[in-house]
Chains A and B, each alone.
Chain A
């Protein structure tokens, strides 16, 4: 297992364009999370999936953001009509089923989005 994989690593887009990021979690992890991190800040929670169900979506996420996790495997995060304020690092993390304790989250390397 190679950990949590995120693609692409970098994305430069023009304002107003749509972008989609992909996250492949560790195979036995049923929980998947998206976070956004801007320079000099800690990651901020965006959304949470347990299997294929999206159980929480942050108020930080405007209607331009949507996330999916079909069949409880990989996940995609789409941003429509991008704005300069969307420029950030988008992090994906996954964790195993909680059983007898919680052993932390494994993060991917992130997708850095630059909107010009």
Chain B
């Protein structure tokens, strides 16, 4: 079964510093999508970044980048120049498809605190 593991329940970072959130996953597929979502205290999930497994180049979105290691099944998120507004729960997710269906499988999340 596809599983997503986030081993860091909580992380903290100083404002303007860099932090890396870890994620590993288990799959037997060769082509798939991975996502990082942010969920601020208001609770709406916001897409941060996505990675297509067949692309070897790591995805970047402004201050957010990933380190995608396909062989190791690792998908970490790096946040550079951290800002107070980055404080939130961060969820790693794998897009699982089977037959005609699809779904996101989420990790348990990492709570990020940004200290001024």
Is A101 at the interface (CB under 8 A from chain B)? Answer: yes
Expressed in whole angstroms, the Cα–Cα distance for A44 and B52 within the complex equals 22
Task: Give the residues in chain A near B101, CB-CB below 8 Å.
Answer: 48, 55-56
Smallest CB separation, A58 vs chain B (Å): 8
Is B68 at the interface (CB under 8 A from chain A)? Answer: no
Expressed in whole angstroms, the Cα–Cα distance for A104 and B52 within the complex equals 11
Which bracket fits the contact residues of A? Answer: 20 to 34
Contact yes or no, A89 B103, CB < 8 A:
no
Which residue of chain A has the shortest Cβ distance to B107 in the bound complex?
A: A42
Kindly identify which residue among A33, A40, A110 contacts B103, using a CB–CB cutoff of 8 Å. A33
* Binary per-residue interface labels of chain A (81-116) against chain B in the complex, 1 for a CB within 8 Å, 0 otherwise: 000000001010100000001111111111000000
Expressed in whole angstroms, the Cα–Cα distance for A31 and B103 within the complex equals 10
Determine which residue in A31, A89, A110 has the highest number of CB atoms from chain B within 10 A of its CB, and name it: A110
Expressed in whole angstroms, the Cα–Cα distance for A45 and B35 within the complex equals 15
Contact yes or no, B109 A103, CB < 8 A:
no
Could you tell me which residues of chain B, from 29 to 82, have a CB within 8 Å of some CB in chain A? 33, 35, 37, 42-47, 50, 52
Is B106 at the interface (CB under 8 A from chain A)? Answer: yes
Contact yes or no, B108 A41, CB < 8 A:
yes
Main secondary structure of the interface of B (DSSP, over half): strand
Contact yes or no, A104 B47, CB < 8 A:
yes
* Binary per-residue interface labels of chain A (14-36) against chain B in the complex, 1 for a CB within 8 Å, 0 otherwise: 00000000000000000101010
Could you tell me which residues of chain A, from 34 to 67, have a CB within 8 Å of some CB in chain B? 35, 40-45, 48, 50, 55-56
Which bracket fits the contact residues of B? Answer: 20 to 34
Smallest CB separation, B21 vs chain A (Å): 13
B residues adjacent to A (C-beta < 8 A): 4, 33, 35, 37, 42-47, 50, 52, 91, 93, 95, 100-109
Q: A45-B105, A102-B33, A107-B45 are in contact. List 14 more A-B contacts (CB 8 A).
A: A31-B102, A33-B104, A40-B108, A40-B109, A45-B103, A45-B104, A48-B101, A48-B103, A55-B101, A102-B52, A104-B47, A104-B50, A109-B42, A110-B43
Give the 4 A-B residue pairs with the shortest CB-CB distance, closest first.
A42-B106, A56-B101, A107-B45, A45-B103
